[in-house]
Amino acid sequence: MFLFVIRHLGFLKSIPGLGIVFDAWLKVCTLLTNPAVPDHIDAIEAAVTKWSNIDTSIHKYGGLQFNYNKREIGHIHSNGLLDMLLSRKIKQELMKEGRIQHHHSFKNSGWASFYIKTEDDKEYAISLLKLCYDRYLEKQRTVVNAWY
């Protein structure tokens, strides 16, 4: 259902607030079909927000967005779909393992997607977001070292 809406009704995302409404609908459907997913999302939020310089916001198309120093590292839609920004190299390596997939909109980029359904998925999602976080930390170190 999610992919159908994204592929065939994606043009509607330009309507202000509609993404938030769609995500709320996803949350209701998820509560009915896999009621553990919202708890997993809450646990991921609790773990990730303990990291330095991480905060959250509402993603522009709905869901929970994780930001490192005000830059997005990833977001979770209410159906448990985690979208995160990896390097292309890391994305390709992880895709070979078969657990992540191309992002539903940005296939030829570092953006990747992963569905959170189980307790193990929750832990894997945290490790994926940690990869993204560490990538931003490394970028920051590189910039700081370039100044000296």
For residue 81, the one-letter residue type is L
- CA neighbor of 129 nearest in space, from 51, 60, 13, 40: 51
Domain ranges of the chain: 2-147
Q: Which helix (H) or strand (E) holds 93?
A: helix 88-97
Residues of the chain where predicted confidence (pLDDT) is lower than 50: 5
- pLDDT value at position 11? 56
pTM: 0.85
Return all residues near 115 (Cβ < 8 A) that are at least 6 apart: 79, 80, 81, 82, 121
Mean pLDDT of the chain: 87
- Listed in sequence order, the DSSP H helices in 13-118 are 18-33, 37-48, 88-97
CA 95 to chain centre: 16
Say what percent of the chain tops pLDDT 90.
60
